[in-house]
Amino acid sequence: MGNNFYETNLGALKERYPQLYEKIVAHQDTLSTEMIDSRSGMPTLRVHGKFFHSAYDPMHEAGYLLEDLNLKQYEGIVLVGMGLGYHLKKIWMDPYFQGKMLIVEKNITVFKQALAASDLSTIIRDGLVLFVVEEDEQEAARIIEVCGFFRINITKVGVIIHPPSMQMFMEYYLVICKKIRSLLGFMRSSLGSLKQFQDFWVNNAMEDTVDIVASPGIRDLGEMGKGTPAIIVSAGPSLDRDIETIRQAKGKIFIFAVGTAYRVLLKNGIKPDVVVVVDAHEVILKQFKDIDPSGTYLFSANFVRKEIIDAFMPDVFFYFPSTIPYDVLLPDSQRAKGRAYAGGSVAHSALDIAVQLGFNPVILVGQDLSYASSGQTYASGSVYDGKTIQYQDERDFHTQGLVWMRGNYEDKVIGSQVFYIFVSSFEQYIRRHPEVTYINATSGGAYIEGTTLMPLAEVLSHYADKGDPAACRETMKKVQAGFVPNWEGFHEILEKVLNHFNQIVNDLESSCEKAKHFKMLLKEGHQLPKELQTIPTELIELGKRLDENSLTALLQYGKGYFKFLIMNMELRSAQNVRQMQEVFCNSVEEVYEGFLETATFIRDKITDMLNRSDIWKKTENIR
């Protein structure tokens, strides 16, 4: 370990990954490894007597591993298992690959041998290359999630598994592969959600702002359920079998319902204590059509349709999904409404809220995350009643995006790629909050690791005498009665944001005119001016403001941002400078116009709120 390669690579690690450097220096090797020269003269590695690379020519062997991989098509590459890094170097040196790399290595001893085998210092210092060297698979999965490699606009990612590493550390790398698959699916799903919901998010968030200021948040409830059980009811097909048992739980155990299950419960004469809603789409209105909301509190995300909020007012508590920035429109004294985990479905948010409020155990019912053997997709009486899935053969099965998943009471159940992501999100949340007991009382469905399977009737026999829903409802009632909105602070915030958005609108109007000019020149075949070079710089600056400025970040939930992401994806696919220029000229006008539309909408909505006398007459302090 004393050769120049090792010391040089350690120096690079100390600069870029100081914590990893300290871990490596302090590490005591326990794995039996031996580095020897291959016949080609390049080092090869034996781990517990097994070769990790060819004994003849390791670099040539790495070529075989990559020979069917068209690196040109990928925006990112994940290496699962590093070994001595021959495939890493081959990819990094390939002129056709211009993307990011993520290298995941379980064993520190193997990584140290890689540092001693060759000069990796330039790769270690490369800002497009990320190393995760961690022996605990759950901690490695957590680092992978937060390291920033997986982003909403990076969807073309290749995964390369180093076979000897996988064979020797199978359990570890299966966890890593599952996490990667889940993150890729979630990012692709998020891009689709942005396209579908971008108009609804901005419109609903601005429409709801006054109600949010006027109402308490889930954080105001403290730990109202501390030490008592709660049931979260979802609308999976198995709910039909558990309705009567849920009726017995009413008044004994606090009941949360997600939006799709609310109508089912009401039709069966069961009023849940709380209904949790996060969806922004207008289709959600069907879940609340012709219902009597009295007796149930609404826990609402900040961009739910206002018609639903109006139906429940004043019995509404708000929260912000974990990544939504619209709390910047609230006065500082009331910004902490509370945040909830956004794992892809409203049930994830409901689970997090229940945990934050101190409920323990948390009991899942109707959380199938799979389809019934009959093809039924939702419980009877939900707005999706009658919807089924059917497939003719294995090819049709996969064409529809269906997958086999481990079942709670069956070897396997039919799910979807989205359900797979949801299960992974539940499992991830449970691992992060091990202090809570999670009981899956769903009568069927997909297995969620970390939960205890228990029939609902048995749950009631164990926990019915430990709940106190009446006390929780009394807490909600008192918090509602004691809440005092800060209208003066709200007025000050609105004036500040209005000034900011007046400037944004002016900047974007100027940018739109410039973009139109460039597009016209391209269309008419003129030589593109040197001014075109300023657009990438402007867009980079715009991207930084979107990420760093809390007010400008509001534009991330409108039309321009989706087009901005798509344009960046197309730019990464461009083959040369001329193609990049064409992408810019053809797309940048739409990008700026989309941002301008959102910025103008927000500005006008703020102006309307500042002109609303019904708000400001509530306080004498507003001039």
Between CA 268 and CA 272, with CA 271 as vertex, the angle to 5 degrees is: 120
Task: For residues 499 and 197, give the distance between their C-alpha atoms in angstroms, rounded to a whole number.
Answer: 27
Give the SS3 label for residue 376. strand
Mean pLDDT, the chain cut into blocks of 10 residues (623 residues total): 79 92 88 87 88 86 79 84 91 84 93 93 92 91 82 75 89 87 72 64 86 94 95 94 94 95 94 90 81 94 90 94 79 87 88 97 95 84 79 76 88 86 88 94 94 96 92 96 92 91 86 77 63 58 63 78 72 65 76 88 92 70 44
Note the pLDDT of residue 608. 92
Output b/e per residue, 378-392; b: 16+ Cβ within 10 A: bbebbbbeeeebeee
Output b/e per residue, 501-528; b: 16+ Cβ within 10 A: beebbebbeebbebbeebbebbeeeeee
HSE of 12, CA atoms in CB hemisphere, 13 A: 18
- Per residue, what are the HEC states of 57-94? CHHHHHHHHHCCCCHHHCCEEEEECCCCCHHHHHHHHC
Question: DSSP label at 28?
Answer: P
Block residue for tokens 């002016």? 506
- pTM value is 0.74
- Per residue, what are the HEC states of 526-588? CCCCHHHHHHHHHHHHHHHHHHHCCCHHHHHHCHHHHHHHHHHHHHHHCCCHHHHHHHHHHHH
Note the pLDDT of residue 565. 73
- Nearest of 591, 569, 574 to residue 519 by alpha carbon: 591
Neighbour count for residue 477 (Cβ, 10 Å): 12
- Per residue, what are the HEC states of 169-216? CHHHHHHHHHHHHHHHHHHHHHHHHHHHHHHHHHHHHHHHHHHHHHCC
Output b/e per residue, 583-593; b: 16+ Cβ within 10 A: bbbbbbbbbbb
Task: For residues 251 and 490, give the distance between their C-alpha atoms in angstroms, rounded to a whole number.
Answer: 38
**389: Cβ contacts below 8 Å, ≥ 6 apart:** 371, 375, 377, 400, 402, 414
Note the pLDDT of residue 2. 45
Note the pLDDT of residue 191. 62
Give the SS3 label for residue 317. strand
Question: DSSP label at 354?
Answer: H
Task: For residues 248 and 364, give the distance between their C-alpha atoms in angstroms, rounded to a whole number.
Answer: 16
Give the burial class of 225: count Cβ atoms within 10 A of its Cβ; 0-12 exposed, 13-18 middle, 19 or more buried.
buried
